[in-house]
Amino acid sequence: MSYQHIRFSVANRVATVELHRPEARNGFTITMADELSAALGEADANEDIRVVILTGAGKDFCVGADLSGRSFEVSNTPASDNDWVEPATRVARQMFNLRKPVIAAIRGAAVGVGSTMILPADFRLAAKDSRFGFVFSRRGIYPEAGSCWFLPRIVGMGRALDWMVSGRLIPAQEALEAGLVKSLHEPDALLDAAQALARDLVETTAPVSVAVIRQALYRMSALPSPEPAFALDSKLIASLGENADALEGILSFMEKRPARFTRTVRQDLPTFLPWREHTP
């Protein structure tokens, strides 16, 4: 596909999805939302892609919605219209349902949707100059992209209430201490750090295992009891006798060599995963 507001590239089994409106500090548009959703879907469908890096061109990741050209025409959308999906959710839902890990590499401002769209990522790496902001209360609007579900699971309810209700800007060090980001880097070294993490995931992890683990963590942890997780774990462990990756993982460890995992997400994802029936 050709894209207008993002860039999409693939190298060494890693897809890089870059917000690409540096002249507008990567202001978020409906076009960008739909293109991000499409690019994530493209990465998920491509068996040669193992990891996705999400980043932004220029000195800022995303300063929020671009309202300069009335690009968010939502005033005529009735609240009762259950078929309409707000733009940030189009990105977050696709990222949440992805079967491959996502590394968000953030520098500069990540405000509004710039903070909410990265919450479903598996790893968030940030530059030391980054700052985050769930500024909705200061604009008289509401959080989007399911962020009221994601954020407390990442940083805890107390911190989420502080950040969301106050709408204040959050410096990089506070984001690190709260667990919103995994690590801090010099701005010019940020993408290299994301790529190094991506290479490690490509070289050392099994794609089917990653796909199952990624979804199970969110979907099982959100349930009121561990019983469904117990049941799923029993089925997964029982299936290991037919799992070539499990044998390879053990043999490679014992033989002190890199593993060569051969199972693919398209063909070998367990059929009994409870969320497969409910994925949009």
Among residues 84, 85, 120, 133, the alpha carbon closest in space to that of 219 is found at: 120
Burial class (CB in 10 A: 0-12, 13-18, 19+), 82: exposed
Region 71-84: mean pLDDT is: 65
Q: What are the start-end ranges of the E strands in the chain?
A: 6-11, 14-19, 51-56, 102-106, 109-111, 123-127, 131-133, 169-171, 183-185
Region 26-41: mean pLDDT is: 97
- Assign 147 a pLDDT band (cuts: 50, 70, 90): very high
Show the tokens assigned to 58: 């220029």
Region 167-177: mean pLDDT is: 98
Query: What was the pLDDT predicted at 82?
Result: 76
At residue 277, does pLDDT exceed 80? no
**What is the CATH superfamily name and number for domain 6-69+82-202?**
2-enoyl-CoA Hydratase; Chain A, domain 1 (3.90.226.10)
Question: What is each CA distance from 201 to 46, 49, 161, 197, 210, in whole angstroms?
Answer: 17, 11, 33, 6, 9
| Residue-wise DSSP of 34-71 | HHHHHHHHHHHH-TT--EEEEEESTT-SB-SB-TTTT-
At residue 280, does pLDDT exceed 60? no
- For the 207-277 domain, the top CATH level (class) is mainly alpha
Torsion region of 39: left, alpha or beta (phi above 0 gives left; psi -120 to 50 gives alpha): alpha
Residues of the chain with CATH 1.10.12: 207-277
Cα–Cα distance measured from residue 212 to residue 208, given in angstroms and rounded to the nearest whole number = 6
Per the CB < 8 A criterion, the answer to whether 274 and 216 are in contact is no
- Assign 276 a pLDDT band (cuts: 50, 70, 90): confident
Among residues 104, 116, 128, the alpha carbon closest in space to that of 18 is found at: 104
At residue 227, does pLDDT exceed 70? yes
- Assign 118 a pLDDT band (cuts: 50, 70, 90): very high
Percent of the chain whose predicted confidence (pLDDT) is above 90: 90
Region 117-129: mean pLDDT is: 98
Query: What was the pLDDT predicted at 83?
Result: 84
Query: What was the pLDDT predicted at 67?
Result: 80
- Assign 242 a pLDDT band (cuts: 50, 70, 90): confident
Q: Tell me the pTM.
A: 0.93
Query: What was the pLDDT predicted at 74?
Result: 58
Region 243-262: mean pLDDT is: 96
Question: What is each CA distance from 212 to 14, 269, 270, in whole angstroms?
Answer: 19, 8, 8
Among residues 46, 34, 63, 64, the alpha carbon closest in space to that of 9 is found at: 46
Residues of the chain with CATH 3.90.226.10: 6-69+82-202
